Amino acid sequence: MPDIHDVLDRRAVTTLFQPLVEIASGRVLGYEALSRGPAHSPWESPATLFAAARAAGRETELDWICRARAYEAALTAGLDPALSWFVNMEPAAARTACPADLAPVVAYARHHLRVVTEMTERAIAVDPSGLLTAAAACRTAGWGVALDDVGADPMSLALMPFVHPDVIKLDMALLRAPGDPHTARVVAAVAAYAETSGAVVLAEGIETEEHLAVARTMGATVGQGWHFGRPAPLTGPTGPSASLPLITPPRADPRTPFGIVGDRRPLARTTKAQLMPMSRHLEALAADGGEPSVLLACFQDARHFTPATERRFARIATSSPLVAAFGTGLTDEPAPGVRGACLGDDDSLRGEWNVIVVGPHRAAALVARDLGDDGPQGERRFDFALTHDRALVVEAARSLLRWLAPVRTPELLVG
């Protein structure tokens, strides 16, 4: 029996496809690619296959293999070019080059297929910065992005506006517990995001007419599940099809949070001592446990990231999808679970003290700029603004991600 290395060396992966259907019309909008290992082998199950590849240190290579095989099957099927192909991707793979033997089909697919890259909630907990990097890389390549299994872990809701998915895939467990308070919170957060962004809501796991009815009440316009078709090889056109709309990604603003917020909100001037209670209040919003929230904070210099601050941020990180600290002299992980970004002495962000909190139902930002005073720390003066405008807060938060998760070029997707 072949071992996992033999399976990977032979690229012995096959792809099944499950249709994604427009609920109102019954038209097929696309297919999700579902990878399988060699039939009748221990690696046939995708979970077992990826676990073995992970243990062998070849998980990102397997990820490239699965995507390349999916693109190959889609390209040779001869289906409507307007269809969208949903293909899963591990964010870590965006940081590795495509294997040379797979690069031609991946590059060809980039120009001839409408690809929507699916990213999972698991990636948010394991590697949030990798998830954001991968999403940015897909956008740069002109592909769509779907956030998968939304609702399985409430952490995904906080990162949703940063990933800015074209498609939100509701976890199938929500259909089976429509009366659960957790389901209601997830559906409300997803509906709010979809209404402001234009994203498509897709319900997974639709197996019955009852599931279909529940999916409609949750705002889903696209469905996936055995009710519409089981995973199978592509066999050619099976009925009317249409194109899934993709949304316009947010424009990257090159300014810092202070520049973004200060341009649209009145500025005031005060001392560091007066700003501290405001800063602590925003940290408390992220730490209250009511909902998982993203916390991004700029400290200017590592000496301001005190032992007490380190303990607070480490505590918040245990229940947050992303906690990050920015400043000169900070390490990659200045506290357990906290992402660090080390700033250069001449970095434009170095003169700012920012605290930004984004949750599924809350958003707040304190942005401040150091006026360069000498003297006692508590008497140093800052110009500052405070806002709870969600769109403005998210825009300011996004501006920090280029320090934490640099945008990768399209070449990373095509090798």
Report the C-alpha gap between 216 and 227 in whole angstroms. Answer: 14
Which CATH number among 3.40.640.10, 3.40.50.880, 3.20.20.450, 1.10.3720.10 corresponds to the domain 4-246?
A: 3.20.20.450
Q: Average pLDDT in the 297-308 region?
A: 95
Instruction: Report the share of the chain in percent with pLDDT over 70.
Output: 94
Q: 405 versus 104: which is more confidently predicted? A: 104
Query: Model confidence at 415, in pLDDT bands (50, 70, 90)?
Result: very low
End-to-end CA distance of the chain: 31
Q: What are 6-28's pLDDT values in tens digits?
A: 999 999 999 999 999 999 999 99
Mind listing the pLDDT tens digit for each residue in 125-182?
Answer: 566 667 777 787 788 778 899 999 898 877 778 888 888 899 999 999 999 999 999 9
Which 3 state secondary structure label does DSSP give 239?
A: coil
Residue 411: pLDDT band (50, 70, 90) is very low
The domain limits of the chain are: 4-246, 257-404
pLDDT band at 335 (very low <50, low <70, confident <90, very high): very high
Q: In this predicted structure, which of 145-154, 189-198, 224-233, 389-398 has the lowest mean pLDDT?
A: 145-154
Beta bridge partners of 270: 382
The DSSP code sequence of 54-113 is HHTT-HHHHHHHHHHHHHHHHHHTT--TT-EEEEE--GGGGGSPPPTTTHHHHHHHHHHS
**pLDDT confidence bin for 413, thresholds 50/70/90:** very low
Query: What confidence score (pLDDT) does residue 242 get?
Result: 84
Q: What letters, b where the CB count within 10 A reaches 16 and e where it falls short, cover 273-285? A: eebeebbeebbeb
Give residue-wise pLDDT tens across range 346-361. 999 999 999 999 998 8
Res 409: pLDDT: 40
pLDDT of residue 407: 38
Q: Is the pLDDT of residue 327 over 90?
A: yes
Reading the block at residue 193, the tokens are 């995001």
Domains 4-246 and 257-404 in one fold: no
Identify residue 13 by its one-letter amino acid code.
V
For residue 198, which of 163, 159, 150, 246 has the smallest C-alpha distance?
Answer: 246
Percent above pLDDT 90 for the chain? 69
Give pLDDT tens digits for 54-111.
999 999 999 999 999 999 999 999 899 999 999 998 877 777 889 999 999 999 998 8
Summarize the confidence of residues 381-396 as an average pLDDT: 95
Residue pLDDT, tens place only, 220-245: 999 999 999 999 999 877 777 888 98
In CATH, what number does 257-404 get? 3.30.870
Rounded CA separation 150/203 (Å): 10
- Output the pLDDT for position 414: 41
Higher pLDDT, 327 or 93: 327
Question: In Å, how far are 228, 290, 397 from 161, measured between CA atoms?
Answer: 30, 19, 10
Contact 341, 333 (CB under 8 A): no
Mean pLDDT score, 395-405: 84
Residue 290 has pLDDT above 90, yes or no: no
Q: Which two tokens stand for residue 360?
A: 């599924």
Residue 374 has pLDDT above 50, yes or no: yes
Q: How confident is the model at residue 124 (pLDDT cuts 50, 70, 90)?
A: low
Mean pLDDT over 286-301 rounds to 88
pTM of the model: 0.86
Identify the three-state secondary structure at position 360.
coil
Which two three-digit tokens encode residue 8?
Answer: 């990977």
Q: How many CB atoms lie within 10 A of CB 413?
A: 25
